[in-house]
Amino acid sequence: MNRELTQNTPEWLELRRKKIGASDAPIILEVSPWKTPYQLWLEKTTGASTPMSPHQKRGHDLEEPARRVFEKKTGLVMFPKVMLHPSHHWMMASLDGIDIDGKAIVEIKCPGQADHDLAKAGAVPEKYFPQLQHQLAVTGLKMMFYFSFDGTNGAIVEVERDNAYIANMVELEKIFWQCLESCTPPSMNERDFVNHDEETWLETSQKWLTIHEQLETLGKEEKALRESLIQMAGAHNAIGGGIRVTRSLRKGNVQYGKIPELQDLDIEQYRKEPSEVWRLTAV
């Protein structure tokens, strides 16, 4: 089933809120470096949106030129199109390009150098793979093109449909969809933060920030004074003014990675249980 919508219109944005699109797949499968499932759930349930990043704006601006370069390289004529899955009503895909016969589709990316080098080597970055398989699931095709564009030229990678991967992906997307339908948030992971704006939190955080800044200043001053005393002590232990300066040698750390006998040993079996560590940082 096709949906004749123009991408980047208010109608298209509203449809994306109500469906699970191809760009949602990497987030739901937790391979996206930019967003978590919980953050995606918040966006879809509240209608909140994040401003377009410089990276996203670059990709948006270069999409049409990239499509023309892809067409020249392949001889295909491609059109953007929004499609819905024939049976999973909650699945959609906003295609960067599909040919007139509906037999070829392309996903265009204008990535950084590392990801572009991967494409030139014939590989697709892991963070984009679910998006491509989602598009293959929606369209029913067995193969599609991944086109990495550097602003002038591009690299084409043929991506085969992976039915086992799609089956697992669809199950995870369905669970996420049920979270949307029931207004129940998915589990949060370590990249998610709960925002606190209550008075007690704000007062405590301000006190911590003040003390943290003071400690940083004192730490720098202590380091400078320590270095001065070490220099004045010269190469000898020293005492005076209520302090003792003592020189000693510390053994170097063992470089376990360079021990030949340990190269084939699974040292993970000797690792202790993980311990919880909290860190406070000023933002």
pLDDT in tens, 49-85: 777 778 888 888 999 999 999 999 999 999 999 999 9
The Cα 283–Cα 281 span in angstroms is: 6
Residue found under tokens 């992971």: 189
Element (DSSP H or E) covering residue 238 = strand 238-240
Residues 237-275: pLDDT tens digits?
Answer: 999 999 999 999 888 888 888 888 888 888 778 878 777
Cα–Cα distance measured from residue 27 to residue 37, given in angstroms and rounded to the nearest whole number:
6
Neighbouring C-beta atoms of residue 186, cutoff 10 Å: 19
Structure confidence at residue 15 (pLDDT) = 87
Q: Which residues contact 131 (CB under 8 A, 6 or more apart)?
A: 22, 23, 25, 26, 107
Q: What pLDDT score does 276 carry? A: 72
Q: What is the pLDDT of residues 205-228, one digit of tens each?
A: 999 999 999 999 999 999 999 999
pLDDT score for 2: 45
Distance CA 173, CA 72 (A): 35
Q: CA–CA separation, 234 vs 246, rounded Å?
A: 11
- Separation between Cα atoms, residue 18 and residue 64, nearest integer Å: 27
| pLDDT confidence of residue 32 | 96
Is the Cα dihedral 77, 117, 95, 65 positive or negative? Answer: negative
Q: In this predicted model, what pLDDT tens digit does every residue of 110-127 receive, in sequence order?
A: 999 999 999 999 999 999
182 — pLDDT class (breaks 50, 70, 90): very high
Radius of gyration of the chain (CA): 27
Q: In this predicted structure, what is the pLDDT of residue 98?
A: 97
Task: Give the angle 128-146-56 at the CA atoms, nearest 5°.
Answer: 55
Average pLDDT, the chain: 92
Task: Please tell me the predicted confidence (pLDDT) of residue 1.
Answer: 40
Distances from the Cα of 268 to the Cα of 40, 93, 264, 265, 274, angstroms:
34, 42, 12, 9, 12
Average pLDDT for 80-104: 96
Instruction: Tell me which of 8 and 84 has the higher pLDDT.
Output: 84
Distance (Å, rounded) from C-alpha 9 to C-alpha 144?
A: 26
- pLDDT value, residue 264: 80
154 and 117 Cβ atoms separated by less than 8 Å: no
What distance in Å separates the CA atoms of residue 4 and residue 57, rounded to the nearest whole number?
24
The share of the chain scoring above pLDDT 90, in percent, equals 73
The tokens describing 56, both together, are 């996203």
pTM above 0.75, yes or no: no
